[in-house]
């Protein structure tokens, strides 16, 4: 009932009478009052005026399940929502739920992670109140070889979600790091359970730094958070909802071709590497060249000095001016 009352107050133009809430929800005035008190305790600024009713004022960054449900306008993603105060890793929790038969679109959002995961086994700082930590479950009906592009789809979704929520237009460092003014603000980790010719499930994990006062020394020169770039509070629930809605939009296009054909142009528009010098590092090779953007498969095209164009399918790409490569 909390989510329903919150939704009514958000959509109202002015005050909503207690009687109207009672009739809409078919509950007593006492029940309505108890929920109003709970919402106020959660941090919502709700005015109660005799003979007028209740009005929701601007409450800043309230981050609760009810707030997220009131913001979420997706068709299927997040309809099965798990909101946790604390978890080791949202990816781990989604994988547990997947093994228990959770439906596609199951989404886990946590206030804090104790063991947030980045790519290549790296840890991700995920303290309470500092960011958005979210993961969701996919059960696609396509071959495993198509799944690698999903991390690029997720990058577009985050770029779009951040812009909708804050007005900030970030960039993408191939394949899926989101950067603002040359520093990383978001990491994306996609994990998959497969057999040779089928996918059991895919977990897409997203961590966005929202308000971190001070980064650890080892990443201070390469990391940033959204609060450094805006002059008003970032509403985390709105950010989660915007990213989820953007995911549905881009994923729908991806499913039409099972690659980046319909998304390539937009992805390249945000690519911070585009037409810039890059250094490609892998276990077997190291070379430099100029990034030409991605192809339909989401691979990075790099033109070397001799004119040869090489296709980058995996490995670490370091970009001039970013992450210390000058």
Q: The domain spanning residue 8 has which CATH number?
A: 1.10.10.10
Q: Which residue has the higher pLDDT, 74 or 222?
A: 74
The CB density around residue 102, as the number of other CB atoms within 10 Å, is 19
Give domain status of residue 107, yes or no: yes
Alpha-carbon span 307 to 315, nearest angstrom: 21
Give domain status of residue 247, yes or no: yes
- Residue 302's SS3 state is strand
Give domain status of residue 225, yes or no: yes
Residues 281 and 263 in one domain: no
User: Total structural domains in the chain?
Assistant: 3
Residue 247: per-residue pLDDT: 98
Residue 171 has pLDDT above 50, yes or no: yes
Instruction: Compute the C-alpha angle 96/111/95, nearest 5°.
Output: 10
Q: Which of 14-18, 118-122, 312-316, 318-322 has the largest mean confidence? A: 14-18
Residue 110 has pLDDT above 50, yes or no: yes
pLDDT tens, position by position, 136-152: 999 999 999 999 999 99
Give domain status of residue 104, yes or no: yes
Instruction: Give the torsion sign (CA, 65, 251, 139, 154).
Output: negative
Question: DSSP assignment of 8-25, as one string?
Answer: HHHH-SS-B-HHHHHHHH
Mean pLDDT in residue range 208-225: 88
Q: Are 222 and 187 spatial neighbours (Cβ–Cβ below 8 Å)?
A: no
Residues 47 and 138 in one domain: no
Residue 209: per-residue pLDDT: 95
Residue 321: per-residue pLDDT: 59
Burial of 94 (0-12, 13-18, 19+ CB in 10 A): buried
Which residue reads 């809430």 in tokens?
A: 21
- DSSP secondary structure letter of residue 212: -
* Bond before 179 cis per omega within 30 degrees: no
Residue 325: per-residue pLDDT: 46
Mean pLDDT in residue range 154-177: 96
Residues 187 and 87 in one domain: yes
Q: What is the CATH number of the domain that holds 234?
A: 3.30.930.10
Residues 92 and 213 in one domain: yes
Q: Which domain holds residue 178?
A: 65-269
Return mean pLDDT, the chain: 89
Q: What is the CATH number of the domain that holds 293?
A: 2.30.30.100
| Segment among 14-18, 70-74, 238-242, 246-250 with least mean pLDDT | 14-18
Residue 45: per-residue pLDDT: 82
Residues 128 and 170 in one domain: yes
Residue 319 has pLDDT above 80, yes or no: no
Alpha-carbon span 121 to 228, nearest angstrom: 27
Residues 206 and 306 in one domain: no
Mean pLDDT in residue range 179-190: 93
The CB density around residue 196, as the number of other CB atoms within 10 Å, is 6
pTM of the model: 0.84
Give domain status of residue 326, yes or no: no
Residue 326 has pLDDT above 70, yes or no: no
Q: Are 236 and 132 spatial neighbours (Cβ–Cβ below 8 Å)?
A: yes
Mean pLDDT in residue range 127-144: 92
Residues 51 and 107 in one domain: no
Residue 303 has pLDDT above 90, yes or no: yes
Residues 260 and 311 in one domain: no
Question: How many helical (H) and strand (E) elements, i.e. helices and strands, does the chain have?
Answer: 8, 14
Residues 111 and 180 in one domain: yes
Residues of the chain with pLDDT > 70: what percent? 93
Instruction: Give the torsion sign (CA, 244, 249, 187, 242).
Output: negative
Q: Which two tokens stand for residue 142?
A: 């396509």
């Amino acid at each position: 009932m909390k989510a329903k009352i919150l939704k009514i107050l958000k959509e109202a133009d002015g005050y909503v009478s207690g009687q109207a809430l009672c009739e809409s929800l078919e509950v007593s005035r006492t029940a309505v009052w108890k929920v109003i008190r709970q919402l106020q305790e959660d941090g919502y600024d709700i005015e109660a005026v005799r003979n007028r009713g209740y009005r929701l004022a601007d409450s800043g960054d309230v981050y609760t399940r009810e707030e997220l449900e009131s913001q979420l306008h997706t068709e299927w993603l997040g309809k099965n929502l798990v909101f946790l105060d604390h978890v080791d890793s949202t990816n781990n929790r989604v994988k547990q739920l997947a093994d228990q038969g959770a439906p596609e679109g199951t989404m886990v959002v946590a206030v804090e992670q104790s063991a947030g995961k980045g790519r290549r086994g790296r840890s991700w700082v995920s303290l309470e109140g500092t960011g958005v930590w979210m993961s969701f479950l996919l059960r696609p009906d396509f071959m495993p070889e198509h799944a690698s592009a999903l991390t690029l789809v997720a990058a577009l979704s985050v770029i779009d979600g951040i812009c909708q929520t804050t007005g900030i237009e970030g960039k993408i460092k191939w394949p899926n790091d989101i950067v603002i003014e040359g520093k990383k603000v978001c990491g994306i980790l996609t994990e998959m359970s497969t057999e040779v010719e089928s996918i059991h499930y895919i977990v897409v994990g997203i961590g966005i730094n929202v308000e971190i006062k001070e980064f650890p020394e080892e990443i201070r020169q390469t990391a940033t958070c959204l609060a450094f770039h805006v002059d008003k509070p970032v509403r985390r629930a709105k950010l989660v909802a915007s990213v989820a809605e953007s995911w549905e939009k881009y994923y729908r296009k991806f499913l039409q071709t099972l690659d980046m054909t319909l998304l390539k142009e937009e992805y390249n528009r945000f690519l911070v590497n585009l037409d810039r010098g890059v250094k490609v590092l892998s276990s077997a090779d190291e070379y430099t060249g100029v990034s030409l953007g991605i192809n339909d498969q989401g691979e990075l095209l790099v033109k070397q000095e001799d004119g040869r164009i090489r296709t980058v399918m995996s490995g670490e790409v370091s970009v001039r001016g970013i992450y210390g490569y000058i």
